[in-house]
Amino acid sequence: MFSPGQLAGRPWGVWRYREALGLQPATEVVTLGEGGTPLVAANVTGQRVLLKLDYLCPTGSYKDRGATVLVSKLREWGVSEIVEDSSGNAGAAVAAYAAAAGIAASIFVPAHTSAGKAAQIVRYGAQLVRVPGPREATTQAALAAAERSFYASHNWSPYFHAGVKTLAYEIAEQLQWTAPDWIVTPLGGGSLVTGMYQGFGDLRREGIIGRLPRFAAVQSERCAPVYHAWRQGLKDVPPVEKQDTAAEGIALTSVVKGPAILEALRGANSVLLTVSDAELWMALEHLAGRGFYVEPTSAVAVAALPHLRRQGLAGPNDRVVVVLTGSGLKATDKIVEHFQRKEADSEHAH
Amino acid sequence: MFSPGQLAGRPWGVWRYREALGLQPATEVVTLGEGGTPLVAANVTGQRVLLKLDYLCPTGSYKDRGATVLVSKLREWGVSEIVEDSSGNAGAAVAAYAAAAGIAASIFVPAHTSAGKAAQIVRYGAQLVRVPGPREATTQAALAAAERSFYASHNWSPYFHAGVKTLAYEIAEQLQWTAPDWIVTPLGGGSLVTGMYQGFGDLRREGIIGRLPRFAAVQSERCAPVYHAWRQGLKDVPPVEKQDTAAEGIALTSVVKGPAILEALRGANSVLLTVSDAELWMALEHLAGRGFYVEPTSAVAVAALPHLRRQGLAGPNDRVVVVLTGSGLKATDKIVEHFQRKEADSEHAH
């Protein structure tokens, strides 16, 4: 672990916190300038919040934090070929860092992944494999391929997880080594929640911050396995049926780290919320109308803010950090299609 | 002007250098977390260079540096409605900052602007006006509309220009207050070249750096008015005929600031280069294969590196900074189309 005094003079970004990331001291890291993203005050949904713009990472999502550490470790190990499965963002991140490291990557994604993510994965030089069916079919196909390669799963790797911890370190440092009252975050495979929980936990254990923030973790109501398990007080997360949702990045019907996610949520005295696709799109438009252009998945965190207020949880003087995870530029096709359909519908109605 | 000693403890980004930006001390600035972008060492085209990843600004291009200062000034003045014309990136930047400031914006763009840029301008809540014909027709249409509004042109505004200076400040600070040997940059309307020239000039005048970097300014060979004026030793830049080029962001057949651009280029002991569209696409693919995903326009700077080497200009021990200006995620449509056509052509050839 690092101490804050060590950090002066180091550039901002994930590797500012190198001592906490589990690499050999001599390893030359694989970096594309990830992390060090802005924390910007803004008035959204009638509330003063701090937006953590993690979509300004190199490949357009927070997954770069995990990928830089994971791929650095793979290079340390001498791995030359990997397989990864992803709804798109982690695949793009792993493809980019693998390219930078000279590691051959095969990235398995669901057939419906946004065109922007698919195009960037191909251009990074990875082999892109589109898999029909639910998100889990993608994982199965990747696992089968991994029998002849190295399975560099962002959901399983402790090194990917270590990289995500830096999101917590960075937020705390941007707040002069204090914790905010709330972290509002999308919840899908759980890497954000478990990574940030461990990151803030590290800081508290070392006495660098005095307490943990509470988490408000947000799922799509069309695919909310963790939400349902939480409400039922379960210790693991059973799979659910899902309906189509625009929140492609968090639409997992089953999660591989159920117990760890539930433990992190409990440890952070969390609130779980769900939002509808209609709320998601309204939040996306609302945010863009203030200059912040995110992908549909990322908008769920903002869509949940009115719920959090209505339930009397986040008070007007609370410091609320909303993590914005992915760039709207990745989802041009989905965003254009939605608003064209909406306009066509409203013309019909007249 | 600031002094380096003042900056300790300030967040990275454009407003770190506030004293140099010409705003009233009391003005509350319009910020989306722009600037503070990574400077990353990488091996491209067989050469060790430093890549300045300015495509990691909030709207996906370096134009945010200018827009944050311009729109902050507009708010200081109480302007409530603006018109801007752009090939796309400046339009997206001005639309985003206008949205954040509550200023109504009409953005005029050429009809062929990338889908990604058009979509984000609309989502920021601006009125998007697509203008058929050459880039200059867009300016004419904007000027006509500006008779009933405020013309917030990024090409004319000294405040936009002041914001771009911060790119020079930031590079110098990232190099411990030294200048690199070379700055390699795309050249279109000239705001990058004139802004950086003034920025490095400020630093030299104050004794913060000892000398200026040389500029290598790159145009598309299909539209190279400044290159031709430079070769002929002219004092202004006459318009040229242009052919279609993928470098949409710099494809201006005439430039409004010709004398200022030529003066900056002379002052920085510059080299002017042109590259073909074939070289541009090879450079884009080469960069992406190392993890850096840029829009076609931005790739011209990397495409020019072999020319610079071949002409014996940039030596192997020179510190060469390449400015990467716009995100590949903005141009998914153009990038996918190009590589699909390329594959189809190569299948035909078999």
Calculate the average pLDDT of chain B: 94
At A55-99, the pLDDT tens digits run 999 999 999 999 999 999 999 999 999 999 988 899 999 999 999
Q: Cβ(B60)–Cβ(B95) under 8 Å? A: no
Which residues in chain A are closer than 8 Å to B333, comparing Cβ atoms? 332
Q: Is the dihedral of CA A141, A142, A143, A149 positive or negative?
A: positive
At A326-347, the pLDDT tens digits run 999 999 999 999 998 888 887 7
Question: Has residue B350 got a pLDDT over 70?
Answer: no
Nearest to B291 among A39, A96, A122 (CB): A96
Which has the closest alpha carbon to B115: B302, B336, B333? B333
3-state DSSP call for residue A43? Answer: strand
- Taking the C-alpha atoms of residue A211 and residue A234, their distance in angstroms, rounded to an integer, is 26
Which residue has 């279609």 as its token pair? B244
Indicate the pLDDT class of residue B100, thresholds 50, 70 and 90: very high
CB contact under 8 A, A288 and B99: yes
- Taking the C-alpha atoms of residue B249 and residue B135, their distance in angstroms, rounded to an integer, is 10
Quote the tokens at residue A332.
């041009």
A182-186: strand order across its sheet: A39-44, A47-53, A320-324, A182-186, A214-220, A271-275
Q: Cβ(B121)–Cβ(A293) under 8 Å? A: no
3-state secondary structure chain B: CCCHHHHCCCCCCHHHHHHHCCCCCCCCCCCCCCCCCCEEEEEECCEEEEEEEHHHCCCCECHHHHHHHHHHHHHHHCCCEEEEECCCHHHHHHHHHHHHHCCEEEEEEECCCCHHHHHHHHHCCCEEEEECCCHHHHHHHHHHHHCCCEECCCCCCHHHHHHHHHHHHHHHHHCCCCCCCEEEEECCCCHHHHHHHHHHHHHHHCCCCCCCCEEEEEEECCECHHHHHHHCCCCCCCCCCCCCCCCHHHCCCCCCCHHHHHHHHHHCCCEEEEECHHHHHHHHHHHHCCCCCECHHHHHHHHCHHHHHHCCCCCCCCCEEEEECEEHHHHHHHHHHHHHHHHHHHHHHC
Residue B35 burial by CB count (10 A; 0-12/13-18/19+): exposed, middle or buried?
buried
Quote the tokens at residue B156.
């004319």
CB contact under 8 A, B290 and A99: yes
- Taking the C-alpha atoms of residue B282 and residue B302, their distance in angstroms, rounded to an integer, is 9
Nearest to A32 among B40, B58, B123 (CB): B40
At A240-277, the pLDDT tens digits run 987 899 998 999 888 989 999 999 999 999 999 999 99
What's the mean pLDDT in B295-315? 94
Which residues in chain B are closer than 8 Å to A290, comparing Cβ atoms? 99-100
Quote the tokens at residue B83.
């018109």
At A117-176, the pLDDT tens digits run 999 999 999 999 999 987 888 989 999 998 888 898 888 899 999 999 999 999 999 999
CB contact under 8 A, B56 and A40: no
pLDDT at B116: 87
CB contact under 8 A, A33 and B11: no
Which has the closest alpha carbon to A166: A324, A15, A28? A15
Indicate the pLDDT class of residue B72, thresholds 50, 70 and 90: very high
pLDDT at A349: 64
Nearest CA-CA distance, residue A245 and chain B, Å: 20
At A72-81, the pLDDT tens digits run 999 999 999 9
CB contact under 8 A, B339 and A289: no
CB contact under 8 A, A38 and B58: yes
Which residues in chain B are closer than 8 Å to A327, comparing Cβ atoms? 60, 327, 329
pLDDT at A196: 98
Which residues lie closer than 8 Å to A50 by C-beta, 6 or more apart? Answer: A39, A40, A41, A42, A180, A319, A320, A321, A322
- Taking the C-alpha atoms of residue A300 and residue A275, their distance in angstroms, rounded to an integer, is 7
* Helix boundaries (H) for A35-85: 63-77
Question: Has residue B328 got a pLDDT over 70?
Answer: yes
Indicate the pLDDT class of residue A100, thresholds 50, 70 and 90: very high
Nearest CA in chain B to A295: B120
Which residues in chain A are closer than 8 Å to B330, comparing Cβ atoms? 329
- Taking the C-alpha atoms of residue B323 and residue A302, their distance in angstroms, rounded to an integer, is 33
pTM: 0.95
Nearest CA in chain B to A176: B9
Nearest CA-CA distance, residue B28 and chain A, Å: 12
Which residues lie closer than 8 Å to A109 by C-beta, 6 or more apart? Answer: A85, A86, A87, A88, A91, A117, A118, A121, A128, A129, A130, A131, A138
Quote the tokens at residue A122.
């191909």
Indicate the pLDDT class of residue B126, thresholds 50, 70 and 90: very high
pLDDT at B25: 92
What's the mean pLDDT in B8-16? 93
pLDDT at B153: 85
